[in-house]
Structure 1
């Protein structure tokens, strides 16, 4: 099957993050096994989510990891012109949830496997397909730990998030939290008998919005993703939940934001408390322009000059594990998470060329 046909199959699996991805995983694992790859699966505690690690070529160090995720964001409350889980072709664009983020890259990798297998590879190529990237890169730490436990250390990881095949060298980290405010319920005819959880939560939201605008932290962005609280118009609310995230330029900014959150919690009115717990952490990426892996990725067809990405990826987890990493993949991030999400057919052709060059290099040179 070619890349477009595989993408059609992948899009048809509804792998929205709150659902299981096992149908896609089982299909892809069968495809890889039939092509002769060595396949390993690792699962979350529920058994409803799984990672795929597939190796093509010999056992040995210095391999190349091609990393992608299998989950997609929801389509709820989005107006689509066609079924989001049926790939639709219009004017050179392929529409479907996950087409660009990032089942297009995954499809290109799966389509490339038979060609890699037909060559005598001197170093392995590892496909690393993880679960729950969209909700905080939850699957990739398990995948990397399993890979390092069972495979000699790879030389490079390329994360195929959409960069229009430009080489992405850096991005900020991501920190997600849930803050739950607890008050005391009362009849609204005399609010003094209770303690509203919503009012301090609203003040907290306003304070969060200001964190990213303060001097010295202009590159920190904050988003309030969800607010939920109260039960009726005539009851003083006893609970309010705020789900929020921030993306700092560095560790100093992380400490500064969390210190501000602690100071806010210390100043709450009597009868109100707050519990803030972490939900997700995506590690930052910082790859030097003179790194040998950058020159190698340019040899494969990664486009220059490099970019700094506004979005987070799994790359920082590979870097933390001692595997040099960068980002380079087909399509534009501007089309991700949108109704009628799409990837240009020409971008998939570019990805096919890129992956074919990886196969050629691994067969002909096989070292970094």
Structure 2
């Protein structure tokens, strides 16, 4: 069996190669090649679907339940606040800098190292499936969602996102709504008692004050925020309507369809249309053996407000990975080298407790 210290060294080298290779969502061809090279060098049978790389453990048995290990290799575009070259990986003061280092390169290489560690082991309690997925940042059509009909049926999943190696046992879903508030168009010089912009005032107050009844123990309340407003094109004309965008972060007490039904029925908008209902909340029972194993290792449980590829899964799923979510999408993104090393150790110890 390969030594953990060797895997830690190789995982860090892989992450540097990933950072140095541009991989915006739907443009991950280069990083996919680096991932292929890892599997080839470790003599692991793998497959590629578009820019998704996946593999199963050598002793895969269809009679056993299957555990998915997943993280993504696409990135957002670097923001204007970078003072470093986002594609030049370097280590300073124990930090590895570079675009995608924290979100989610550190998680991905740690899970790949963990999968490699267990790949050839026999008599495991679970099958293992590793998916290094594309298009997570854009929730695109050719990411993990496209793989679920290709890979074996999944019974439980670990999704690698930066959680400081604590256990995100639930994750909020997302529904974005486009709303319209109507009025009477007119010249600004004439009286108008049905001004669409003024009509927005009670609508905005309604969205600000409305509360969904069900509160989740792990995720708290559903959070609803008006994030965009657009109306009018010239100073002397009252518009016929004003467009609003509403961002709703859904707890595990509601499905996205239920949220849409409630808002369409109750909101004072003239029209309210959800863009998509597929990014549902996700969770794993706190008495699941995977969670119990993590707690036994001293890891804390919490509910995550941020969205990930968990939203595409219908099975119980746990979000867990090295790094800190607050660094994601930030300028001069970094991850501590020690976080990657610890992440590999904790992943391996966690799986030891449920695979044996």
1:29 and 2:26 equivalent?
no
Please name the residue that 2:128 is paired with. Answer: 125
C-alpha separation in 1, matches of 2:29 and 2:196: 40
Q: How does 1:298-309 map to 2 (within 5 A)?
A: 303-309=298-304
The match for 1:72 is 75
Equivalent-residue separation in structure 2 for 1:14 and 1:198 (angstroms): 43
Query: Is the contact made by 1:172 and 1:285 (CA closer than 8 Å) also made in structure 2?
Result: yes
**Residue 6 (1) aligns with residue 8 (2):** no
Equivalent position SS for 2:149 = helix
Per-residue Cα deviation, 1:97-156 (whole angstroms, up to 9, x for no partner): 322221111122334555445x44444432123333334575333222322xxx2x4553
Pick the aligned partner of 1:312 from 301, 307, 312: 307
C-alpha deviation, 1:296, in angstroms: 4.0
Asked whether the 8 Å contact 1:35–1:113 carries over to 2, the reply is: no
Which of 297, 311, 324 is matched with 1:332 structurally? Answer: 324
CA distance in 2, matches of 1:132, 1:178: 23
Q: Aligned to 1:104, what secondary structure does the other structure show?
A: helix
Corresponding residue for residue 104 of structure 1? 106
Q: How does 1:1-368 map to 2 (within 5 A)?
A: 2-17=10-25, 20-43=27-50, 50-60=51-61, 61-76=64-79, 78-112=80-114, 115-117=117-119, 119-123=120-124, 124-136=127-139, 139-147=143-151, 151=152, 153-180=153-180, 187-190=187-190, 192=192, 198-200=197-199, 204-212=203-211, 219-238=221-240, 240-249=242-251, 250-251=253-254, 255=258, 258-265=261-268, 273-279=270-276, 281-297=278-294, 303-315=298-310, 317-318=312-313, 320-321=314-315, 324-357=316-349, 361=352, 366=355
TM-score, scaled to structure 2: 0.77
Distance 1:30 1:325 in 2: 28
1:101–1:308 distance in 2 versus 1, CA, 3 Å = same
Q: CA deviation at 1:358?
A: 6.4
Q: Determine the C-alpha separation between the residues in 1 that align with 2:71 and 2:232.
A: 40
Distance 1:349 1:277, change over 3 A: same
Instruction: Note the aligned Cα RMSD (angstroms).
Output: 3.6
Q: 1:89 to 1:198 in 2, by over 3 A?
A: farther
Compute the displacement of 1:198 (Å): 5.0
Question: TM-score, normalising length from structure 1?
Answer: 0.75
Kindly state the Cα deviation for residue 261 of structure 1 after the two structures are TM-superposed: 4.4
